[in-house]
Chains A and B, each alone.
Chain A
Amino acid sequence: MDGDEGAGAHRGDGDGAPAAPDGITRHEGSSGAAGGSEEGSEMIDVELASDANLVVAIARWHQPALAEAYRRHGGAVHALSRRIIRSDPSAEEITQEVFLDLWQHPEKFDAQRGTLRSFLLARTHGKSVDLIRAETSRRRREDRTTRETATAGYDLEHQVWDMAVAEQVKDALVALPDELRQPIQLAYFGGHTYREVAEMLGAPEGTVKSRIRVGLGRLRVNLAERGVAPAGVES
């Protein structure tokens, strides 16, 4: 296998190979490969492959497919991790781990459950949160919680916007009442547990817990109303 393909190394070689029925385009006629129409080990054009087919190719140890998955989603993975950890070296380490995990265990992605991006981001979130919870001693965590309680108002106004999310997503989030929006933001971007969130907002734990769930459901509706349909899930 060609081990040193960089991200996007195959870009622009458009030989116009027709898409195979499964959506993976095969290079026909390149180097006169035997049996170009046969199923098997031919190259896929990763640029044109769906995310799900990229994962199938990754399961076949096709390194350019992982490079393409990284090109498509690496930026989001890295940005989310950096947003939560607030440390560049750690965020880079997490980004590497997320894609190395995909390389080793592509079977953990279930295309019927959701998109590759949300799968990667959920893993990124989990790893990032684990890291800050492990790194932060109990004492420092309490300090941090206290400090952020003081600045929660300011943070909440800013932490979404610097994620450069799409306008409709911002709209959908802003359309949530504060009491539903704040717990989601503190948990998701701040990496806080719902108990910490409850403390920060001075609300009962059970209330915060259920507001996160209700808020996510409402957000989904808001997104749908703005034409942003979370893909790959059915109700």
Chain B
Amino acid sequence: MTGTPVGPTESEIEELLGAYALDALEPDERALVEAHLETCPRCAAEVAQHHEVAGLLANSGGAAPGELWDRIAERLDTPAAPSWDRLAARLQVPDGARDGLADAGGDPADRLPASPAATGPEEAVAEIVPIDRARRPGRLATVVVSIVAAAAALAAVVLGVQVHHLNHQVSALSTSHQTVTQAAQAALEDPTTQRVQLTPTATSTAPRGATVTLVMARSGTGFVIAQGLQALPAEETYQLWGSVGGQLISLGVLGSDPGVSTFTFDSVAKAQAYAITAERSGGSVQPTHPPLVEGSVQA
């Protein structure tokens, strides 16, 4: 952190970390520290340590007041319908992105609900959206993790989720594997294609060095270039997911030992974030396991 002479030095900020952890800074200093913590894992770790120590000071016994829980429970806005839509609403999604989506799958039954409010209490949605619009891009990946994890519990929900089973396409193409690889290579060299890097999540069981590169051409054809992903047992498959218009959509079943494969996507309503999970052979309507690798479109 060298460079701009404006503002406090790193060591001046470090001096504030203890008082910051105890909420003992003035607002302007607090803002300084918070900005610094965004980019400094070492200082963030120190603050976490201070919080642990302070938490022990407060470590009061005593049972949680039962009547207070009743009041909390009254205020929980658990949606009557499964909450997939509200969870998905945590993603930053431009409003316009929802519209073109029906073209992606073709089946009208797979259409998205018109708005997030369709399945949940309206004020609850309104509560979530503004906060998350303020979310910095770097946090998006974390949110994707929690969304995919949350989705794993909601197997019964099929709101606007589309499965593109690409098994047949993949096997048809695998007879001409060389061709796919060559096409992917050409796409990589094409400056008009978009790339998204997927890397292992914090909790992933994938090897740390594993990377998956998505290369997407304007035509709506994408290539998955997987490096370092272990082969799965035959009864399992990797599956690619995209978050489109606030929904997680299957972009394809990649097989148990992916190298280079293709997928199609809607070039109008493109996903903002992508993840790959391991699923039962044949793929799932929704992810049933947490993501192994994930990444989002860089602004």
Contacts and interface: CB of A to CB of B under 8 A. Distances in A.
A160 B57 contact: yes
Contact of B68 (A38, A96, A126, A230): A96
Interface in A145-189: 160, 163-166, 169, 173, 184, 187-189
B60 A188 contact: no
B64 interface: yes
Interface in B67-83: 68-73, 75-76, 78-79, 82-83
Interface in A92-119: 92, 95-96, 99-100, 103-107, 110, 112-115, 117-119
Contact of A187 (B17, B19, B64): B19
A220 to B, nearest CB: 5
A46 interface: no
Given A104-B127, A191-B23, A219-B53, A61 B60 contact: no
Given A74-B65, A165-B56, A215 B76 contact: no
B26 A78 contact: no
Contacts of A33: none
A228 B153 CA distance: 36
A40 B156 CA distance: 9
A194 B24 contact: yes
A215 B54 CA distance: 11
A125 B54 contact: yes
B154 interface: yes
Contacts of A92: 65, 68, 71
Contacts of A70: 64, 69, 72
A210 B50 CA distance: 13
Interface residues of A, number: 91
A137 interface: no
Contacts of B79: 61
A125 B22 contact: yes
Interface string B17-54: 11101111110000000000000000011001111111
B90 interface: yes
Contacts of A210: 15, 18
A79 B62 contact: yes
Contact of B57 (A73, A114, A163): A163
Contact of B49 (A163, A228, A233): A233
Given A71-B64, A121-B58, A122-B55, A59 B72 contact: no
Given A75-B65, A113-B48, A100 B23 contact: no
A92 B64 CA distance: 11
B42 to A, nearest CB: 10
B186 interface: no
A235 interface: yes
A49 interface: no
A213 B18 contact: yes
A1 B78 contact: yes
B23 A75 contact: no
A174 B86 CA distance: 48
Contact of B45 (A60, A77, A173, A233): A233
B63 interface: yes
A3 interface: yes
Contact of A209 (B15, B23, B59, B65): B15
Contacts of A113: 44-45, 48
Contacts of B213: none
Contacts of A118: 48, 51-52, 54-55
A4 B70 CA distance: 9
Contacts of A163: 57-60
A235 to B, nearest CB: 7
A230 B56 contact: yes
B142 interface: yes
B111 interface: no
B158 interface: no
B65 A78 contact: yes
A115 B52 contact: yes
A217 B53 CA distance: 8
Contacts of A188: 22, 54, 57-58
Nearest to A61: B83
Contact of B18 (A63, A100, A215, A231): A215
B126 interface: no
B59 A166 contact: yes
Interface of B: 14-19, 21-26, 44-45, 48-66, 68-73, 75-76, 78-79, 82-83, 87, 90, 127-128, 131, 142-143, 145-146, 149-150, 152-156, 202, 288-289
13 contacts: A3-B73, A40-B153, A40-B155, A60-B150, A66-B72, A103-B76, A117-B55, A129-B23, A163-B57, A193-B25, A212-B19, A213-B15, A217-B18
